[in-house]
Structure 1
Amino acid sequence: MDCPTCGGETLLVSAFDLGTYLPGEPETLAVCRTCLTVAPAEADAVDDPESVAALSTALPDDPETALAMALVVTLCESLALYRTEIEELVTRIERAGVDPLSTLAYLRDDPELDLALDVERRRPQLVQLLR
């Protein structure tokens, strides 16, 4: 499956319980190797969830937390629509011991990625949302 945002190659991974944050609550998620966009996938999961964490050294080692961080990157494109989901994901990420705002900055600076999210533009809005 190609990424709906950039056309890049995706990983097909189990959604764990994170599929509830996307419409249709998919069991499989496609995670773009280039822009980190997460989208529902019709196909079965074929990639190891550990491979999501391996997409960037900025992502947490835990596959579920790495996938949650990729979902934040995706959902931040529409803060107003996904406010509740973003707040829940950020809380979950913080409980795992990860600073999501710092992680976004590290992801932005990763030369291997070309995030779909404009981190600089969204950061002030995200900080306000999370207060």
Structure 2
Amino acid sequence: MRCPNCGAPTVVFTIPEAVLDAMPETRPGAALCTRCLTVTPVDEPPDETPDWTAVHETFPTDDEAAATVGALLALVDSLALYRSEIEEIARHAESLGVDVMLVLDRLAADDGVDPHFDIDRRRAQLEQLLE
């Protein structure tokens, strides 16, 4: 599947049960763009674990942790609208051992990633939210 925003390849994944209720779309899966980080809901995610290193070499490799970060990226551009949902998803990612701020830092520092949102600004806002 290609990104509808920029045409780059995507990583298609299943939204973890633990965060599914926090998502605005009730679809069971999503496709995360490897370039612009756009997340598009999908109706039929694959059964197999995707190659999360296609997003970034330092992206979490544990499927649930990586999918939780993917779910977070789906909402982080709408922080004002999904504040409590973002906090819930970020806290779940942290409970899985993910340093969400570090993931965002590494994505922001990679020239091959060109987020459709201001990742540095969102990172700062998310940091304040999670204090």
Normalising by the smaller structure, the TM-score range is 0.7 to 0.9
Displacement of 1:100: 0.7
Is 1:75 aligned with 2:75? yes
Alignment partners' CA distance in 2, 1:73 and 1:24 = 14
Q: Is the 8 A contact 1:53 1:62 kept in 2?
A: no
Structure 2: stretches of 5+ with no match in the other structure: none
Structure 1: stretches of 5+ with no match in the other structure: none
Partner SS for 1:29: strand
Question: Identity over aligned residues, as a percent?
Answer: 37
Q: Which amino acid aligns with 2:91?
A: T
Alignment partners' CA distance in 2, 1:38 and 1:47 = 18
Partner SS for 1:24: coil
Partner SS for 1:40: strand
Cα displacement string for residues 84-124 of structure 1 (whole angstroms, at most 9, x for unaligned residues): 11111111111112211111001111233222231222222
RMSD between aligned residues: 2.1
Which consecutive aligned stretches of 4+ in structure 1 deviate over 6 angstroms post-superposition?
none
Cα displacement string for residues 23-63 of structure 1 (whole angstroms, at most 9, x for unaligned residues): 23111211212222222113x22373331344212211111
Partner SS for 1:48: coil
Per the normalisation by structure 1, the TM-score is: 0.82
